[in-house]
Amino acid sequence: MNEIHSARIGIIGGSGFQRLLGLTDSRAHHCATAFGAPSSPVITGYLCGVPVAFLQRHGPGHTIPPAAINAKANIAALRSVGCTQILSMSAVGSLSEDVPPGHFVLIDQFIDRTLMRDKTFFGPGLVGHVPFGDPVCGRMRETLADSAATMGVPAQNGGTYVVMEGPQFSTRAESRLYRQWGGTVIGMTAMPEAKLAREAELCYALVAIPTDYDCWLESQQPVNAALVAERMAEIGDSARKLVEDAVQKMNRHAGGCRCGCDRALDTAIMTAPEQRDPAMLARLLTVAPNAGRLINQ
């Protein structure tokens, strides 16, 4: 058996999912970060004996719309309580008849259609370009696939998440276009979350939970907010079983990530050492503390 990992596993999801998880020895942390306030307090505790941290993406009571989520602060807050892996749970619409509501998708690719969001910890004074060809940690995704098989949870291993701006749902024309592009599911929240996790050198995986067929399949009811909430309540038990098994296996991930998630900044920083903005560098180190190895490179 692999050595047990001592770091926490971060879980990002909705407020209803926190109740389903039923963490023990839970404690709320009101995290102050260099990037502002996160969406919610971070709840640390134990899930099946594994140290985890939970964050509500849309805030308590679902008060934050997708484009207003402070994803930079969310990632920084999870890092601040010791997370090295992040498991994201996301309600989505299905773009494929092969992925009906309730059939999970373990995402391996994204198409980012968002326009209004702050997507990087870098900027003027500290320029960086992280590799993102494989945007999800392969080790985490394989573990999720194994857990889905173990728990009898229907899940497709691999799929493309089209991230739209929102908050409105798609038109039928848009939904059909995204199907032509090869999209598997569509949602509003995976970006810039996944990009920022990579810049923070965190392992990141996303479980997409289809609740509907968006609006392309005219024989089905078009998506609406009430339908999403109803379907998530129905699917919740399967999501809980998957996460409970997966975190126990992820807790045994030891050593460096074979995908290089924990070394994403090795080839990223372009700005010459003498030209780097000290304040920006200090903020980056709060969310990617191992980047200190690059200061004089």
How far is it, in rounded angstroms, from Cα 220 to Cα 229?
17
Point out the residues of the chain with pLDDT beneath 70: 1-6, 15-16, 18, 296-297
> In the chain, what are the domain boundaries?
8-120+129-279
Active site residues: 212, 214
**pTM, two decimal places:** 0.93
Percentages helix, strand, coil for the chain, rounded to the nearest 5? Answer: 35, 25, 45
Q: Are the C-beta atoms of residues 127 and 281 closer than 8 Å to each other?
A: no
Count other C-beta atoms under 10 Å from residue 250's C-beta. 24
Length of the chain (residues): 297
pLDDT in tens, 139-148: 999 999 999 9
pLDDT tens-digit series, residues 80-135:
999 999 999 999 999 999 999 999 999 999 999 999 999 999 999 999 999 999 99
Annotated binding site for substrate: 188, 212-214
Pick the CATH number of 8-120+129-279 from 3.40.640.10, 3.40.190.10, 3.40.50.1580, 1.10.1740.10: 3.40.50.1580
- Annotated binding residues for phosphate, as ranges? 15, 57-58, 90-91, 189
